Chain A
Amino acid sequence: MKVLAIDTSTFVMGIAVVDGQVVKGEIITNLKKNHSIRVMPAIESLLQECDMSPKEIERIVVAKGPGSYTGVRIGVTIAKTLAWTLGISLVGVSSLEAMAASAKYFQGLIVPLMDARRGQIYTGLYKAEGGNIQSIVADQVILATDWANELKAYDEPILLVGNDSSLHEASFIQTLNRAVQVASFTLHNPRPSELAWLGMHREPEDIHTFVPNYIRLAEAEANWLARQQERTEC
């Protein structure tokens, strides 16, 4: 199966072309540049390098969030439109799971994380087993300090992965002591080929109804719900 994988959920832009068991090409950058300008040209040039026409793609795998709302939406919009117009399957994979996959040979628990501002992080808990990864705690948004405390309940070694690890590692080291390690910086950029691999054997989504996993409500919506709550409590 020829898979095109797209990840634009953080500053890291990742595009991969995977053909069966072969990673034909990958483009990964970690730059504070505009995804909207760069993603389609990157897809175009990677396919060209791989001597592949868009019509040869058989599946699109996209990182569906959490992450930057705008970033995730760019990837998801391109993925949905390509899958729909080419008549091929679409699979969405958690952006955190894709990040965790870089550490799939770690003996213990993997904690991928992205900064979510005001001390919060998007994170989840994953476990590697024989080169596969499994979700232990679903993706969530949580205060880094609270998450560190919750992780005390596990007695396996813990590995933090992701470019934002450096922003929050102090909270984890303080709470978890030596049980926590931070992945080498060379593992922090999620690899789109891992994303392709994760999505290769999964059930496809319904293209039309597929949406990003934002984790959070839009701020206006959350405020509105809070006001409704107050009103009903009065």
Chain B
Amino acid sequence: MSEKDIFVLGIETSCDETAAAIVKNGREIIANVVASQMESHQRFGGVVPEIASRHHVEQITLVLEETMRRANMDVNELDAIAVTEGPGLVGALLIGVNAAKALAFAHRIPLVGVHHIAGHIYANRLVQEMKFPLLALVVSGGHTELVYMKEHGMFEVIGETRDDAAGEAYDKVARALQLPYPGGPHIDRLAKEGKPIIDLPRAWLEEGSYDFSFSGLKSAVINTLHNAKQRGETLRPEDMAASFQASVVEVLVEKTMQAAAHYGVKQILLAGGVAANEGLRTQLREQMKRLPEVELVIPPLSLCTDNAAMIAAAGTVLLQQGKRASMALNANPSLLL
């Protein structure tokens, strides 16, 4: 028996990308459009919420139209609209949520609210089918989490950051090294040219904990730079980048390995913007040799950063599980997974 194909339109506006995408059966990208505002925020050294919201209003229907055009589809042919309801910047989220509601209302199509992190995790399903139980390492500007999934749509956060997200630490250290915003890619690039010879701490926290902490590391970098300057020494930024990255990556990878072994997972998924980080990818691949039965899935760069295909992919599963949002769906900046 062949089942009918399911087409879901995803909408994502939680931060500084206005994105829409259509995904077939939760696995196949039909169209994927992302309008980035990164350049508008660069001069402010970070995302300015009010400016992000203004850009989303400017872009939203253009992005929707481009998505439908590329898919060569009509909104009436869609089975559902999936939208990021949180977490994120509330004013930014509101644009996607209200556009999604208007579309669902106009065409009487089911509406599904999606958690942004669930989206990042499901980006992997656009590459490789999920095998449960699995463990997802989610690392981005706003998140550092280890999420255990026993089956579709079930998310258990087994570890999270107690202070800064990994991506946040990257941005702050990049600023200390006077690198342009956003700092992550610059540190990743510099790290390749340096050696991890500067002694920096690793925050393992208490025995058996899968939580993370990066604020101590960030302070250590700033202090080391400051002390060196006072002594009139110069540290090679390449070495500092490599040492910082080594510390972050070692903790992320080691805790992932321990959790994967402890929970007996079949798959490890990497998700979130920092998943684009070469140092992290390399180290994770290397350490996977310790768990030969476990499969590692890393999405292509374009699916690591914020996009709407991942929201459509997660939304498809939720739709199939019967989840529906009403016209009263709201943006929730601190939504829990």
Which residues of A approach B to under 8 Å, CB–CB? 34, 36-41, 43-44, 54-55, 69-70, 73-74, 76-78, 80-82, 84-86, 207-209, 211-212, 214, 218-221, 224
Contact = CB atoms under 8 A, between A and B. Distances in A.
Given A37-B328, A208-B62, A220-B44, A85 B107 contact: yes
21 contacts: A37-B328, A44-B327, A54-B107, A54-B108, A76-B57, A77-B95, A77-B98, A80-B60, A80-B99, A81-B61, A81-B98, A81-B103, A81-B106, A82-B105, A85-B102, A85-B107, A208-B61, A208-B62, A218-B54, A220-B48, A221-B48
Contacts of B106: 54-55, 81-82, 85-86
Contacts of A214: 54
Contacts of A84: 61, 64-65
Contacts of B53: 69-70, 73
B75 interface: yes
Interface in B197-223: none
B108 to A, nearest CB: 8
Contacts of A37: 328, 330
A73 to B, nearest CB: 5
Nearest to B46: A220
A220 B55 CA distance: 14
Query: Which applies to chain A's interface (DSSP): helix, strand, loop or mixed?
Result: helix
B50 interface: yes
Contacts of B102: 40, 77-78, 81-82, 85
Contacts of A218: 48, 50-51, 54
Contacts of A70: 53, 91, 94
A41 B329 CA distance: 10
Contacts of A207: 61
Contacts of B302: none
Nearest to A73: B57
A81 B330 contact: no
B97 interface: yes
A36 B61 contact: no
A54 B43 CA distance: 42
The 7 closest A-B pairs by CB, nearest first: A81-B102, A40-B327, A218-B50, A220-B48, A81-B99, A84-B61, A77-B98
A220 B51 CA distance: 8
Given A73-B91, A85-B106, A40 B101 contact: yes
Contacts of A212: 57
Nearest to B51: A218
Nearest to A53: B108
Contacts of A40: 98, 101-102, 105, 327-328
B326 interface: yes
A82 B61 CA distance: 10
B331 interface: yes
